[in-house]
Amino acid sequence: MLVQVAETLNARSALTNRILSAIVIPQIALILLGAAAVSAGVSKGLTPLRRLERALSKRSKLDLKPVETSNVPEEVYPLVIAINDLLDRLKKDIESQERFVANAAHQFRTPIAGLKTYVGLAERIIKDEKVSPIMSQLNSGCDRLTNLVNKMLSLAKVEPNFVTTNKTLLDLNEIASRATSDLVAEALEKEIDLTFKNSSDQALINGNETGLMDMVVNLVENAVHYTQKGGKVSVSVTANEAVTLLVEDNGPGIPIEERERVFERFYRILGNEASGSGLGLSIVKEIALAHNATITLEEGSAGGTLVRVTFERMKKGS
């Protein structure tokens, strides 16, 4: 007697699928849950580091005060202590460098002033046509050296806490107006049309008067220096949601690829024959950073350079 038992291939395939579903789907679910748990654990563990990263990234390069150690998790505490130790050593090194630059610049001032005096006397006494051009070059060299020393002193004043502290409520209109007036004589020598336009409302900012004066003087002086004879330089202040200082000229302009590099110390654009120390815009950038201001270089309406410095606008009594 022969008994045959059979089932369809579809039934067998359905059984296989049910077995696989019963085994594989729970395994996949367990893997996904495990991955989510690990990810949440790692993310929670890295939260203190992210907070530390955000706190440091918001600082300006002038802010070297220690990182707050209260409420720091035990796992991150040694790292914060190491960072604070590094910041302290860096601050001391920078202060030492600043003292050296300031002292050196002060020491240079007296002999340079004496040299310039003697050169001036020699120019008046010696009337030899062959010597006069040499004396004139010496006099120009003394002027350039004096300018460099003054820039170094300005830079030394900017970098310590002098600018970040000693801040009061100021009207940028008054500072920009005074700075522009101080450079009228220099502009007239080059027959440059130097103009100033103030804002209709008070342009109140929280700032250091000496630092801001140095910043505006450097910007206007830079514009006058690099603008051709008979050119135009305009200085204006606007007060809307923010306070903005604008210095525009119709000089040769600054190529786009050079606009970041001109803020580096002693950097000068190749092919530019105008004399200069290469420190003016570096000083401007340092002062802007100390005031939490942003500074950009753009092409001017007449093809020259437009410098835009934007400050947070303050209210009277704040």
pLDDT confidence of residue 292: 87
Helix ranges (DSSP H) in the chain? 9-57, 77-125, 132-158, 161-164, 172-182, 184-189, 209-226, 280-290
Q: Determine the Cα–Cα distance for residues 62 and 59; give it in Å rounded to an integer.
A: 8
pLDDT in tens, 122-140: 877 877 777 777 877 787 7
Q: State how beta strands 294-299 and 232-239 pair.
A: unpaired
284-303 burial code (b ≥16 CB/10 A, e <16): bbbbbbbbebebebeebeee
Q: Determine the Cα–Cα distance for residues 122 and 244; give it in Å rounded to an integer.
A: 47
Q: Determine the Cα–Cα distance for residues 149 and 142; give it in Å rounded to an integer.
A: 10
With a cut of 70, list the residues of the chain below it in pLDDT: 1-8, 12, 42, 45-46, 60-62, 98, 101-102, 105-106, 151-152, 154-166, 266-278, 317-318
* Residues facing residue 305 across a β-bridge: 299
pLDDT confidence of residue 274: 58
pLDDT in tens, 78-110: 888 888 888 888 888 777 776 776 677 667 777
Q: In 3D, which of 52, 51, 110 has the Cα closest to residue 82?
A: 52
Find tokens 């330089």 and name the residue: 233
pLDDT confidence of residue 273: 57
Radius of gyration of the chain (CA): 33
Domains, the chain, with CATH or none: 77-158 (1.10.287.130), 166-312 (3.30.565.10)
CB 72 within 8 A of CB 48: yes
CB 238 within 8 A of CB 199: yes
CB 94 within 8 A of CB 121: no
CB 203 within 8 A of CB 168: no
